[in-house]
Amino acid sequence: MKTRLVLLIFLLVAARSNAQTTPPGRPLPIIDVHVHAMKVNTSFAVEMCPWFLRDMPGGDPNQQMRAFLNAQCVDPLQPAKSDAEMQASVLETMKRLNMTIVAYGDPQILRQWKKAAPDRVIAGIGVSSPNQMTVQAFTDSMSSGFYQVMGEVAPQYQGLSPSDMSLDAYFAVAEKQNVPVGIHMGTGGNGMANLTQASYRASLGRPFLLEDLLARHPKLKIWVMHAGYPMIDEMIALMGANAYVYVDLAGFIWSYPQAEIHAYLKRLVQAGFGKRIMYGTDFMIWPKLFETSLSVIENADYLSFDQKRDILFNNAVRFFRLDASKFK
Ligand SMILES: [Zn+2]
């Protein structure tokens, strides 16, 4: 009897300590602030090994370049084979992980996802060059009520600084409408300028290039996508000088070497910015990428439970001015 009582007490204590991290029935909410809603393109639908950039090849312009992605590992991530499979996987994952996404990309796909899961999809629209959309068209889109975010804005791929005056009127619209803006700064993988993006410049990913834009638009709320990787010193200095700038961890957390990712994230936290780091994946075509990316945060043994919750949820709630009680 006594043994049974001890066992019962043990089980109750174990159940209680478990309940502190996992409420019954539902995992704690997660917000992924960087998801691309894309049509499945069969020529790009290839397998991918996470952290594939741990082995940068030696190259020569007279030789054929190695494939951008690497599929040489025991368990490469599989791409979705159709738009329907993609949507089903994304919806199932969001529900199972209690996850909300900030998504942008193909307008048709985005509308389908939003229709299927209105409470779990926050829609964004990006402008990276004035050739893509007129200021009036952008203003109309932002006024339609469908979009709540401006992103992904990626002038770096167009050979433009984010402070280039040709983009200023678009940012003025976002500032006036109180819309948060996500700007791609930094990483582009191996050989981006040689492969498909001839205008891409590494130097146009420098976080300091945001300073003039921020000075012109003091009410603009921006988050630096990819955390300006690998320019940690400029990133920290920019966030120190501009109190409303946040970052996301998208892209580099599943592509660069894991020791490098953790060193970068640890440095941001160590510098005091744990309240301004948001979780994001840069999700594109591999449904299991959500779990792969979450595992990086889960396994960051230098972060406390509260620091992980800030990154996975609380910071995004604050940044996007959401109501935390709606995510329970
Ligand atoms: Zn990006």
Q: What local confidence, expressed as pLDDT, does residue 193 receive?
A: 82
Q: Is the pLDDT of residue 15 over 60?
A: no
- CA 33 vs CA 18, 277, 290: distances in Å: 28, 11, 12
DSSP-based three-state secondary structure for 103? strand
Query: What is the distance in A from the centroid of ligand 1 to the CA of 184?
Result: 5
- CA 110 vs CA 102, 164, 316: distances in Å: 10, 28, 20
Give the angle 46-52-53 at the CA atoms, nearest 5°. Answer: 130
Query: What is the distance in A from the centroid of ligand 1 to the CA of 17?
Result: 39
62-71, 102-111, 125-134, 155-164: lowest mean pLDDT where?
Answer: 62-71
DSSP state for residue 113 in the 8-state scheme: H
Q: Is the pLDDT of residue 66 over 90?
A: no
Q: Is the pLDDT of residue 6 over 50?
A: no
Q: What local confidence, expressed as pLDDT, does residue 141 receive?
A: 96
| 295 part of a folded domain | yes
17-31, 67-81, 283-297: lowest mean pLDDT where?
Answer: 17-31
Q: Is the pLDDT of residue 14 over 60?
A: no
Say if residues 160 and 134 touch (Cβ distance below 8 Å).
Answer: no
Say if residues 319 and 221 touch (Cβ distance below 8 Å).
Answer: yes
Say if residues 182 and 147 touch (Cβ distance below 8 Å).
Answer: no
DSSP state for residue 48 in the 8-state scheme: B
Q: What local confidence, expressed as pLDDT, does residue 201 receive?
A: 93
Mean pLDDT of 131-151: 96
Give the angle 224-30-79 at the CA atoms, nearest 5°. Answer: 80
CATH number of the CATH domain containing 30: 3.20.20.140
Query: What is the distance in A from the centroid of ligand 1 to the CA of 26?
Result: 31
Query: What is the distance in A from the centroid of ligand 1 to the CA of 200?
Result: 12
Query: What is the distance in A from the centroid of ligand 1 to the CA of 152?
Result: 7
Query: What is the distance in A from the centroid of ligand 1 to the CA of 117?
Result: 24
pTM, two decimals, is 0.91
| 182 part of a folded domain | yes
| 7 part of a folded domain | no
| 5 part of a folded domain | no
Q: Residue 142 — very low, low, confident or very high, per pLDDT cuts 50/70/90?
A: very high
Q: Residue 64 — very low, low, confident or very high, per pLDDT cuts 50/70/90?
A: confident
Query: What is the distance in A from the centroid of ligand 1 to the CA of 272?
Result: 24
Query: What is the distance in A from the centroid of ligand 1 to the CA of 6?
Result: 54
Query: What is the distance in A from the centroid of ligand 1 to the CA of 45?
Result: 19
| 4 part of a folded domain | no
| 191 part of a folded domain | yes
Query: What is the distance in A from the centroid of ligand 1 to the CA of 204?
Result: 13
Query: What is the distance in A from the centroid of ligand 1 to the CA of 93?
Result: 22
| 294 part of a folded domain | yes
Query: What is the distance in A from the centroid of ligand 1 to the CA of 250?
Result: 8
Query: What is the distance in A from the centroid of ligand 1 to the CA of 183?
Result: 8
- Overall residue count recorded for the chain in this entry: 328
Q: Is the pLDDT of residue 68 over 80?
A: no
Query: What is the distance in A from the centroid of ligand 1 to the CA of 287?
Result: 18
Q: What local confidence, expressed as pLDDT, does residue 5 receive?
A: 45
| 201 part of a folded domain | yes
Nearest partner of 123 among 92, 151, 98, judged by Cα: 151
More confident residue, 60 or 308: 308
Q: Residue 8 — very low, low, confident or very high, per pLDDT cuts 50/70/90?
A: very low
User: With b meaning 16 or more CB within 10 Å and e meaning fewer, what string describes 105-136?
Assistant: beeebbebbbeebeebbbbbbbbbbbeebeee
CA atoms within 13 A on the CB side of 209: 23
User: CA–CA separation, 92 vs 101, rounded Å?
Assistant: 13
Q: Is the pLDDT of residue 200 over 60?
A: yes
User: Residue 299 CA to chain centroid, in angstroms?
Assistant: 18
Total domains, the chain = 1
Residues with CB under 5 A from ligand 1 (ion): 184, 225
Domain range spanning residue 173?
26-56+67-322
Mean pLDDT of 217-231: 97
Q: Is the pLDDT of residue 16 over 50?
A: no
DSSP-based three-state secondary structure for 154? coil
Order of strands, edge to edge, in the sheet holding 149-153? Answer: 30-37, 99-105, 121-125, 149-153, 181-184, 222-225, 246-248, 277-278
Say if residues 31 and 297 touch (Cβ distance below 8 Å).
Answer: no
Query: What is the distance in A from the centroid of ligand 1 to the CA of 225?
Result: 6
Q: Which residues pair with 84 in a beta bridge?
A: none
Query: What is the distance in A from the centroid of ligand 1 to the CA of 34?
Result: 8
Q: What local confidence, expressed as pLDDT, does residue 23 receive?
A: 60
Query: What is the distance in A from the centroid of ligand 1 to the CA of 71?
Result: 22
Say if residues 245 and 215 touch (Cβ distance below 8 Å).
Answer: no
Query: What is the distance in A from the centroid of ligand 1 to the CA of 275?
Result: 21
Query: What is the distance in A from the centroid of ligand 1 to the CA of 3?
Result: 58
21-25, 26-30, 51-55: lowest mean pLDDT where?
Answer: 21-25
User: CA–CA separation, 316 vs 277, rounded Å?
Assistant: 8
More confident residue, 153 or 71: 153
Query: What is the distance in A from the centroid of ligand 1 to the CA of 188?
Result: 8
